[in-house]
C-alpha cells in the first residue's frame, strides 16, 4: 500500500495517469447520463404510491451517496497528507471539497422538492435531513478554511485537521440527531422502505449513480491538475525570488 502510494506520489506521473483516465470518465458520464435519463423518465414506471415524483429519487439518492462518499475520500486524503506526508493528499482533498459541497446542496434541494409533493412538507427536522444539513455546514467551513489563509501550507494543514475532526463529529452528529429525534417524536412519516425498491427502479438509479460518480471523478481530477499547476508556478516564483535575494546579497 505504501509502496503504491509512493509510486503514485510523483506529480508528473499522476498528471499522466489523470490525463489518460479523464477522457474515459467523460465518455462514461455521457453514455450513462443519456441512458440514465432515458430510464428515469421513459424506462421506468411511476411508483404506485409516489407517482411521478419518484423520478426525483434518481438524482437525490446518488447525490446523497456521493455527499458522504466524497467526504470520506476527503478525510482519507487528509489523513494521508497529515500522517504520511503524502504530497497529493491535500491537493486531492481540496479538489474534492467543492464537488462534495455541490452534491450536498443538491441532496438538500431535491430532498425538499421531493418532500413537498410526497409528504406535504419542504423540510422536516428528521434525523437524516438534519445530519445532511450539518454536513453541508462542515463542507462550507472546510472551503472557508482554504480561503482564509494566504500561506497554502498552513491552509492545507488546518483544512486537513478540520476534515479529520469533522469525521468524528459526523459520527457523533448522526448518533445525537437520531437520539434527539426519537426523543421528540418517532419519525415514522419519513421512514422510507429501503430494500423494497422495485427492480425497474434499480436500473435508472444505478445508471444515474454511475453518471454522478464519473462526473465527480472527472471534476476532481481536473481540479487536482489545476491545483498542481498553481503550486508549481508558486514554487517557481519562490525559488526565483530566493535566487534574486541571494544575488542582491552577493553584490551588496
Partner 1 sequence: MLEGLSHAPFITAAYVIFFSVLGGLAVVTFRRARETSKYLRQHDETVHGGHDVAQS
Partner 2 sequence: MISFFKVLRRDCAALIERGQPIVLSCGFLVLASTLYPFAIGPDQVKLAQLAPGIVWVLALFLGLLHLEKLYGEDAASGALEQLAAAGVPAWWFGFTRSAAHWLMAFMPLIILSPALLIILGVKEDAVLLPVLSLLVGTPALSFIGSWGAALTLGARQSVLVVTLVVFPLMIPTLIFGVSAAAPQFGSDGAMSLCLAVTLLSAVICPIATHLSLRASLE
Binding positions for partner 2, rule: CB under 8 A: 82, 134, 137-138, 140-141, 144-145, 147-150, 154, 157-158, 161-162, 164-166, 168-169, 172-173, 175-177, 179-180, 183-184
List, as own/partner pairs, every contact residues 159-163 make where C-beta atoms lie below 8 angstroms and the sequence separation is at least 24, other chains included: 159/78, 159/90, 159/93, 159/94, 160/78, 160/79, 160/81, 160/82, 160/89, 160/90, 160/93, 161/78, 161/82, 163/71, 163/74, 163/75, 163/78, 163/93
Closest distance to partner 1 from the beta carbon of 204 (Å)? 13
SS3 61: helix
Closest distance to partner 1 from the beta carbon of 80 (Å)? 23
The site partner of 149 among partner 2, partner 1, none (C-beta below 5 to 8 Å per kind) is partner 2
- Provide the greatest CA pair distance for the chain: 84
The site partner of 125 among partner 1, partner 2, none (C-beta below 5 to 8 Å per kind) is none
Q: In the complex with partner 1, which residue's Cβ is closer, 97 or 162?
A: 97
Burial class (CB in 10 A: 0-12, 13-18, 19+), 136: middle
Closest distance to partner 1 from the beta carbon of 198 (Å)? 16
Nearest one of 237, 211, 249, 243 to 36, comparing CA atoms? 211
Closest distance to partner 2 from the beta carbon of 200 (Å)? 39
SS3 10: coil
Q: By the criterion CB under 8 A, which residues form the site for partner 1?
A: 49-53, 55-56, 59-60, 63, 98-99, 102, 105-106, 109-110, 113-114, 116-118, 120, 215, 219, 222-223, 225-227, 229-230, 232-233, 236-237, 240, 243, 247
What is the C-alpha radius of gyration for the chain, rounded to an integer number of angstroms? 22
Closest distance to partner 2 from the beta carbon of 224 (Å)? 22
- Residue ranges in 51-119 assigned as alpha helix (H): 57-83, 87-119
Closest distance to partner 1 from the beta carbon of 110 (Å)? 4
Nearest one of 181, 245, 207, 213 to 68, comparing CA atoms? 213
Q: In the complex with partner 1, which residue's Cβ is closer, 124 or 227?
A: 227
The site partner of 14 among partner 1, partner 2, none (C-beta below 5 to 8 Å per kind) is none
Q: In the complex with partner 1, which residue's Cβ is closer, 122 or 137?
A: 122
Amino acid at each position: 500500500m505504501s509502496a503504491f502510494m509512493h509510486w503514485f506520489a510523483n506529480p508528473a506521473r499522476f498528471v499522466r495517469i489523470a490525463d489518460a483516465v479523464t477522457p474515459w470518465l467523460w465518455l462514461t458520464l455521457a453514455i450513462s447520463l443519456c441512458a440514465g435519463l432515458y430510464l428515469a423518465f421513459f424506462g421506468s414506471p411511476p411508483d404506485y404510491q409516489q407517482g411521478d415524483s419518484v423520478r426525483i429519487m434518481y438524482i437525490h439518492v446518488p447525490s446523497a451517496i456521493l455527499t458522504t462518499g466524497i467526504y470520506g475520500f476527503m478525510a482519507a486524503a487528509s489523513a494521508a497528507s497529515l500522517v504520511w506526508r503524502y504530497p497529493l493528499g491535500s491537493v486531492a482533498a481540496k479538489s474534492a471539497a467543492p464537488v462534495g459541497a455541490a452534491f450536498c446542496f443538491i441532496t438538500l434541494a431535491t430532498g425538499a422538492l421531493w418532500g413537498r409533493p410526497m409528504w406535504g412538507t419542504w423540510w422536516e427536522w428528521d434525523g437524516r435531513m438534519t445530519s445532511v444539513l450539518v454536513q453541508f455546514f462542515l463542507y462550507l467551513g472546510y472551503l472557508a478554511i482554504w480561503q482564509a489563509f494566504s500561506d497554502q501550507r498552513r491552509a492545507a494543514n488546518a483544512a486537513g485537521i478540520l476534515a479529520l475532526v469533522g469525521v468524528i463529529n459526523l459520527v457523533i452528529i448522526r448518533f445525537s440527531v437520531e437520539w434527539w429525534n426519537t426523543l421528540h417524536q418517532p419519525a415514522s412519516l419519513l421512514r422510507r422502505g429501503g430494500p423494497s425498491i422495485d427492480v425497474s427502479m434499480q436500473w435508472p438509479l444505478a445508471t444515474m449513480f454511475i453518471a454522478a460518480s464519473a462526473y465527480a471523478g472527472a471534476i476532481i481530477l481536473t481540479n487536482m491538475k489545476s491545483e498542481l499547476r498553481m503550486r508549481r508556478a508558486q514554487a517557481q516564483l519562490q525559488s526565483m525570488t530566493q535566487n534574486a535575494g541571494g544575488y542582491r546579497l552577493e553584490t551588496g
